[in-house]
Structure 1
Amino acid sequence: MVEPVEVIRAQALDGVAHGFLGRRGGVSTGIVGGLNVGRGADDDDEAVTENRRRACSAVQPGARLVTLYQVHSADCVTVAEPWAESERPHADALVTDRPGLLLGVVTADCAPVLLADRQAGVVGAAHAGWKGAHGGVIESTVSAMERLGARREAIAAAIGPCIAQASYEVGDDFRARFAGEGAARFFAKGRAGHYQFDLEAYVARQLQLAGVGAAESLGLDTYGDNARFFSYRRATHRNEANYGRQFSLIAL
């Protein structure tokens, strides 16, 4: 029996075609076994293509997928029509007001953020690792949605599966980057000279600062749930040669 694609949905985005996906329901094998959608995971290209097809069909059948060449930036692109995969912009968020487009970001510990203003008919997706979140990718996404007619206070957002605080150890130098931002709330003391960083809470705070009307944190730890999610840090700690990536998708 073929395992179905698991689609995790947020109450904050109820009524909007969206989904946070993990590794369940795909055809890849080995260390990236499951629904790997990453082209850079040293996976069979046909398997990745089939996984992407399954993922899209599970969220919005018939929609045209649009993705980015993600670079941990704060850059957001407005999408009017799909581009060829070889022409993907270097950016980390995308927004649209065009029905029939399925916006997608890939993650493997970073926080995926899906956003929608239902009344204005505008949606967005952001890849928010610590660099992008710290650099302003949330504000860039909300501003781009505004330019399409969205209102900040009418935007609902959801933060999908990402590495949890208990799994995210960082050093003093990392914590120093957040000085002056009320950093104490995002860092719990760990072993000597180390802290546990709460990426999800930090991204939620960025959504609040951007004036988003409602935000939901799903509280799902990519690192801690090997059966359900891919994780870059877990693969690194296991000395694995590569790691899978999962999709987060949204459409009008």
Structure 2
Amino acid sequence: MTIDVVRAKSLGDIPHGFLGRRGGVSTGAYASLNVGIGSDDDPANIAENRRRATEAVLPSAKLVGLYQVHSADAVTVIEPFDDAIRPHADALVTNRPGLALGILTADCAPVLFADREAGVVGTAHAGWKGALGGVTDATVLAMEAIGAHRDRIVAAVGPCISRASYEVDDAFIRRFCEADPENERFFADGRADHYQFDLEAYVVSRLAVAGIGRIEALGLDTYTDEDRFFSYRRATHRDEPSYGRQISIIGL
């Protein structure tokens, strides 16, 4: 099975891809392109899957990743670092060729950024906590610090859990509305005392408010498309012991 690489029209010929679960060597719950170092999958399979993912997007590049903690922290990468010393953060930016910036997700929103003219790219892991905390804003600021201009930046929001699949409770919606009462528009009524949260739309809104020049949302739901994507929430609802992670990559 070939690797499934979803590309954003807005990013054009910039090496990038939102990868799914197809085309790897893992089996069982991790079948098949599981790239999650934190999972209980065979480390040899994870390493091979990460190699294949990198080659599918930016051949011969060095894959650079993070120890993701749902923060609003961005790291500027000037040289490769090993997986063993991954920084605790949730966004990466660079202006150096030969680096493949990778973000792992399993329902959270992966966001890829590029200022083609400046030769600056970035990627962010935007779960609800990081998105609310401003991880996309931090990514833009880090890109500007190495030469990007926000009105030239293109951002693409990749596969993530959709509003129809993302049920939340009263405490959840209160967090967002206390931060900004206008955030209520990202929630639809659900069953009693519950709501459906549109993570993708919220991330797009944060990007728009930040002044990003062009924004593309792919509208792909990780929860419902089981053949194509891993999903933490789907695995949780099924009481499955673990789950895989997919990767989104961009580089120069």
Give the aligned residue type for 2:189.
K
2:220 alignment partner in structure 1: 220
2:119 matches 1:109: no
Structure 1, residues 106-138: CA drift from partner, whole Å, max 9, x if none? 000000000000000000000000000000101
1:123 alignment counterpart: 121
Q: 3-state SS of the aligned residue for 2:112?
A: strand
- Give how far 1:82 is off: 0.8
Structure 1 residue 184: deviation in Å?
Answer: 2.4
- Alignment partners' CA distance in 2, 1:15 and 1:153: 19
Q: Does 1:205 align with 2:213?
A: no
TM-score, normalised with respect to structure 1? 0.98
Displacement after TM superposition at 1:42 (Å): 0.6
Q: Distance in 2 between matches of 1:227 and 1:38?
A: 18
Q: Retained in 1: the 8 A contact 2:34–2:46?
A: yes
Q: Which residue of 1 aligns with 2:175?
A: 177
Partners of 2:189 and 2:209 in 1: CA distance: 25
Gaps of 5+ in 1: none
Tell me the secondary structure at the aligned position of residue 176 of structure 2.
coil
Unaligned runs of at least 5 residues, structure 2: none
2:187 aligns with: 187
Distance 2:136 2:37 in 1: 25
Cα distance in 2 for residues equivalent to 1:222 and 1:14: 23
AA in 1 matched with 2:211: G
Q: What is the DSSP-based 3-state SS (H/G/I as helix, E as strand, rest coil) of the residue aligned with 1:250?
A: strand
Q: TM-score, normalised by structure 2?
A: 0.98
Number of residues of Structure 1 aligned to a counterpart in Structure 2: 250
Partner of 2:41: 43
Separation (CA, whole Å) in 2 of partners of 1:47 and 1:82: 22
Q: Determine what percentage of the aligned residue pairs are the same residue.
A: 66
- 2:11 corresponds in structure 1 to 13
Q: Distance in 1 between matches of 2:219 and 2:20?
A: 14
Contact 2:107 2:233 in 1 (8 A): yes
Q: Distance in 2 between matches of 1:178 and 1:237?
A: 24
Instruction: Identify which of 53, 77, 82 aligns with 1:55.
Output: 53
- Give the aligned residue type for 2:250: I
How far 1:32 moved relative to its partner? 1.1
